[in-house]
Chains A and B, each alone.
Chain A
Amino acid sequence: MTGDFVRRRPLLSLLLGVLVLMLVLLLGWGWQQRVALSAFPDILSAYTAKEYCSCRYVAGQSAPYCQGYVKQYLPISDFVDDPEHKRVKASGLGRTHTASWLGVREGCRLIP
Chain B
Amino acid sequence: MFKGVFLLLMLLCSCAVTAQDWPAEQWAPGPPGSGPALAALEDYAFANRDEATRKGIRTDALLVIRDGQLVYERYAGGTTADTPHLTWSVSKSLMAAVLGVAYGEGRFSLQDPVAKFLPALMPHPGICFADLLHWASGLDWQEDYEYAPLNSSVVAMLYTRGHTDMAGFTAAHPAFGAPGQYFRYSSGDSNLLSAALKNILGAQRYADYPWTALFEPLGIRSAVWERDATGTFVASSYAYMTARDLARIGLLMQRQGRWGERQLLPADWVAFNLQPFAHYQANQDAAVPGGHWWLNRPVDGAPRPWPDAPPDSFAALGHWGQALYVLPGEKLVIVRYADDRDGSYRHNELLKRVQAAFPPQVLP
Binding site for B on A (CB under 8 A): 33, 35-37, 39-40, 42-43, 46-47, 50, 54-55, 58-62, 65, 68-69, 104-110, 112
- Knowing A40-B149, A109-B229, say if A60 contacts B83 (CB, 8 Å): yes
Minimum Cβ distance to chain B for residue A112 (Å): 7
Contact of A109 with B227 in the complex, beta carbons under 8 Å: yes
User: Is residue B155 contacting chain A, with contact meaning CB distance below 8 A?
Assistant: yes
Contact of B339 with A59 in the complex, beta carbons under 8 Å: no
- Knowing A36-B150, A58-B224, A60-B83, say if A107 contacts B159 (CB, 8 Å): no
Residue of A nearest to B162 (CB): A39
Contact of B155 with A112 in the complex, beta carbons under 8 Å: no
- Knowing A42-B160, A60-B84, say if A105 contacts B150 (CB, 8 Å): no
Chain B: interface secondary structure? loop
Contact of A109 with B156 in the complex, beta carbons under 8 Å: no
When chains A and B are docked, how far (Å) is the Cα of A105 from the Cα of B223?
Answer: 7
Which of these, A46, A65, A105, contacts B225 with CB under 8 Å?
A: A105
Binding site for A on B (CB under 8 A): 51, 77-79, 82-86, 149-151, 155-156, 158-161, 163-164, 211, 223-229, 238, 240, 339
Contact of A50 with B84 in the complex, beta carbons under 8 Å: no
> Can you list 27 contacts pairing A with B, beta carbon distance less than 8 Å?
A33-B150, A33-B151, A36-B150, A36-B156, A40-B149, A40-B160, A42-B160, A43-B149, A46-B159, A46-B160, A47-B158, A54-B86, A54-B238, A58-B224, A58-B240, A59-B79, A59-B85, A59-B86, A59-B240, A60-B83, A60-B84, A61-B78, A61-B79, A108-B226, A109-B226, A110-B159, A112-B164
| B-side contacts of A107, CB under 8 Å | 224-226, 238, 240
Contact of A39 with B225 in the complex, beta carbons under 8 Å: no
Contact of B164 with A65 in the complex, beta carbons under 8 Å: no
Contact of A106 with B83 in the complex, beta carbons under 8 Å: no
Contact of A35 with B159 in the complex, beta carbons under 8 Å: no
Minimum Cβ distance to chain B for residue A33 (Å): 7
| B-side contacts of A62, CB under 8 Å | 78
- Knowing A65-B78, A106-B227, A109-B227, say if A39 contacts B86 (CB, 8 Å): no
When chains A and B are docked, how far (Å) is the Cα of A33 from the Cα of B151?
Answer: 8
Residue of B nearest to A57 (CB): B224
When chains A and B are docked, how far (Å) is the Cα of A39 from the Cα of B155?
Answer: 10
